[in-house]
């Protein structure tokens, strides 16, 4: 520990006084009166779904990220599934992705009958390692699905070069990365398709919701059709022209996002810049607070990126601690700091072990990172006192368990 570390205190888990009286979650939504009023106005309108707010939100979102097309969905998972469908994935195909992600990233490939092929992550950013991804390409590979882990963009230039060389589609899972930048460009305007999530812990929320952005008009057309049962027209258009006839042209799903949700999304989008700025301030304070603690490895930031800071995942140097990650996790929770872990590598889940025969040890960088990762609270509604509580609790717990 630093020479400035406080005198050791009794941990809350051992009967001491917790740093906070109430639990600080790792993430949560921020809703104000403007958000509520926008939703109420939509509830009083003629359209609760398939109405004008959907198009307004999509247009505003596309403009914000700098993409030609934005297509909304009922969740980030639905958006991932739709992107896999639009990419043409089908049984027998393969797509390469990261094991260090939420299961939905890989599951969306299984929904199409394709096989997720995992490649290890880079040690610094914990995003898909392009060299490892390249080594997994076969004649059956149709797509690469990089994950912008914690809001840090993947090495998109290298991944796009791989895709161009082998004729692959890049579906970027940017569910953590709304507002992030890569080489001066906003995420959402770079990959063939980019997927976002609007879950309450994200940078903006629609309750549940997702979006796919793309420059490709054919992808956009397929995505819109897929989210609406495979029907080639929508109810609002048919009402406007006084037409009842419609045609189902592909097997789609009901993955539509409601006008109620889109009204909320439009209001939240207006605050996105401020939300991102606040998250960056929190990350900077964490960096400063933990810089002199040798038992903690702060998140790396590559020089070509501006992360969105969906998460602030520290890694513990367990060689310098006389406790496991689990013990430190429980101690932090006892201090009323709602830490979390992101993620159990997908291939280690029972479903993937049973179906594909993974034993563990296949992706050492991701697996070793998982053993030491703890996500600290990170959301734009945190005040300065909340941030200082987290820093104090981390110092208190780590100091207690220092070797």
**Tens of pLDDT, residues 176-223:** 999 999 999 999 999 999 999 999 999 999 999 999 999 999 999 999
Average pLDDT over residues 41-58: 97
- Shared domain for 177 and 326, answered yes or no, is no
Q: Residue 260 pLDDT more than 80?
A: yes
- Shared domain for 266 and 277, answered yes or no, is no
Q: Residue 2 pLDDT more than 70?
A: no
Q: Indicate whether 189 belongs to any domain.
A: yes
- Shared domain for 220 and 248, answered yes or no, is yes
pLDDT at position 245: 79
Q: What is the mean pLDDT of the chain?
A: 96
The β-bridge partners of 312 are 376
Average pLDDT over residues 282-303: 97
User: DSSP states of 107-167 as a string?
Assistant: HHHHHTTPEEEE-PBPTTT-SB-HHHHHHT--TTEEEEE-B-GGG----HHHHHHHHHHHT
Average pLDDT over residues 283-294: 97
Q: Are 346 and 105 in contact (CB under 8 A)?
A: yes
Q: Residue 6 pLDDT more than 70?
A: no
Kindly report the CATH number assigned to the domain that includes residue 394.
Answer: 3.90.1150.10
Tokens of 239: 């009402």
Considering the candidates 53, 136, 202, 280, report the single residue annotated as catalytic.
202
- Closest-CA residue to 264 (of 307, 320, 207, 315): 207
Per-residue CA distances from 116 to 102, 194, 399 (Å): 13, 18, 41
pLDDT at position 4: 53
Catalytic status, residue 202: yes
pTM of the model: 0.95
* Domain C-terminal end among 270, 292, 320: 270
Number of domains into which the chain is organized: 2
Q: Indicate whether 42 belongs to any domain.
A: yes
Burial pattern 323-350, b for ≥16 Cβ within 10 A else e, equals bebeebbebbbbbbbbbbbbbebbbbbe
| pLDDT one-digit tens code per residue, 369-388 | 999 999 999 999 999 999 99
* Domain C-terminal end among 249, 270, 291: 270
Q: Indicate whether 337 belongs to any domain.
A: yes
Q: Residue 149 pLDDT more than 90?
A: yes
* Residues spanned by the domain of 362: 12-28+273-401
- Closest-CA residue to 379 (of 203, 209, 205): 203
- Shared domain for 339 and 196, answered yes or no, is no
Distance CA 238, CA 403 (A): 70
Kindly report the CATH number assigned to the domain that includes residue 201.
Answer: 3.40.640.10
Q: Residue 400 pLDDT more than 90?
A: yes
Average pLDDT over residues 350-357: 98
CA-based R_g, the chain, Å:
22
Q: Are 73 and 255 in contact (CB under 8 A)?
A: yes
Q: Look up residue 294 and give its DSSP letter.
A: T
* Domain C-terminal end among 270, 303, 320: 270
């Amino acid at each position: 520990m630093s020479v400035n570390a406080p005198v050791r205190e009794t941990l809350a888990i051992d009967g001491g006084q917790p740093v906070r009286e109430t639990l600080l979650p790792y993430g949560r939504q921020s809703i104000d009166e403007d958000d509520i009023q926008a939703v109420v106005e939509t509830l009083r309108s003629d359209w609760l779904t398939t109405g004008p707010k959907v198009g307004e939100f999509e247009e505003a979102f596309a403009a914000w990220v700098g993409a030609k097309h934005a297509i909304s969905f009922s969740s980030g998972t639905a958006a991932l599934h739709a992107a896999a469908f639009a990419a043409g994935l089908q049984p027998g195909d393969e797509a390469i992705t990261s094991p260090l992600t939420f299961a939905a990233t890989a599951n969306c490939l299984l929904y199409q009958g394709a096989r997720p092929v995992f490649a290890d992550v880079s040690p610094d950013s914990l995003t898909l390692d392009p060299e490892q991804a390249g080594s997994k390409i076969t004649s059956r590979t149709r797509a690469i699905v990089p994950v912008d882990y914690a809001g840090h963009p993947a090495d998109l230039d290298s991944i796009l070069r791989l895709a161009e060389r082998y004729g692959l589609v890049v579906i970027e899972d940017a569910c953590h990365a709304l507002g992030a930048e890569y080489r001066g460009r906003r995420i959402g305007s770079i990959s063939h398709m980019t997927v976002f999530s609007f879950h309450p812990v994200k940078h903006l929320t629609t309750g549940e919701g997702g979006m796919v952005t793309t420059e490709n008009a054919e992808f956009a057309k397929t995505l819109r059709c897929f989210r609406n049962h495979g029907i080639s027209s929508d109810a609002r258009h048919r009402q406007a022209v006084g037409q009842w006839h419609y045609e189902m042209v592909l097997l789609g799903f009901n993955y539509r996002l409601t006008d109620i949700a889109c009204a909320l999304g439009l209001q939240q989008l207006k605050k996105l810049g401020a939300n991102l700025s606040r998250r960056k301030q929190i990350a900077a304070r964490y960096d400063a607070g933990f810089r002199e603690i040798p038992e903690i490895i702060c998140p790396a930031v590559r020089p070509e990126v501006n992360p969105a800071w969906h998460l602030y995942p520290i890694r513990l140097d367990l060689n310098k601690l006389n406790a496991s990650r689990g013990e430190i996790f429980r101690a932090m929770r006892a201090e009323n700091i709602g830490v979390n872990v992101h993620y159990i590598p997908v291939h280690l889940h029972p479903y993937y072990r049973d179906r594909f025969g993974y034993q563990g040890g296949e992706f050492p960088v991701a697996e070793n990172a998982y053993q030491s990762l703890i996500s600290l609270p990170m959301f734009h509604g945190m005040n300065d006192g909340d941030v200082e509580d987290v820093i104090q609790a981390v110092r208190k717990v780590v100091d207690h368990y220092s070797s």
